[in-house]
Amino acid sequence: MNIQQVIDTVAAKAGLEPAAAERAAGTILSIIQQEIDPTVAQSLFAKIPGATELAAANAVNASSGGSLSSIATTIFGNKAGVLAAGFTQLEASGLTMEQIRAATASILAYVRTSAGGDIAKEITDALPGLVKS
């Protein structure tokens, strides 16, 4: 599966227009890329052609998430800050929490089937807030 197929799945499962699904997938992938072990992230992204470019085009910066991100970074560290900034970025693009949950679930389902349960577990262990959004 390539990144366009992932985007199409996110669009269908989350009820999003293609451009919104692309932003959502890219933002979620950016969060994952920044917050899991770099070796695991590299392995995952190698299995999804185009994922690296999409994550870069929708890069999440912990310092751009506003006050929630700043508070989360101060209290919980950078991971929480990137996660909060990612959610802020998704909500600012007009997505509802239900759409964010559906987009995240779609991507994690793809990871489980194509990249393996170990990588999916790494993501859920490193970012439980992403899964329980």
Look at residues 30, 5, 23, 36 and name the one whose alpha carbon lies nearest to residue 120: 36
Does position 108 have pLDDT exceeding 70, yes or no? yes
pLDDT, tens digit, 9 for 90 and up, residues 43-98:
999 989 999 999 999 999 876 544 444 444 444 444 567 888 888 899 998 999 99
pLDDT-derived band at 4 (thresholds 50, 70, 90) equals very high
pLDDT, tens digit, 9 for 90 and up, residues 16-37:
999 999 999 999 999 999 988 8
pLDDT-derived band at 111 (thresholds 50, 70, 90) equals confident
Long-range Cβ contact pairs of 38-45 (< 8 A, separation 24 or more):
40/119, 40/122, 43/115, 43/119, 44/111, 44/115, 44/119
Domain map (residue ranges) of the chain: 3-131
CA distance 129 to 21: 20
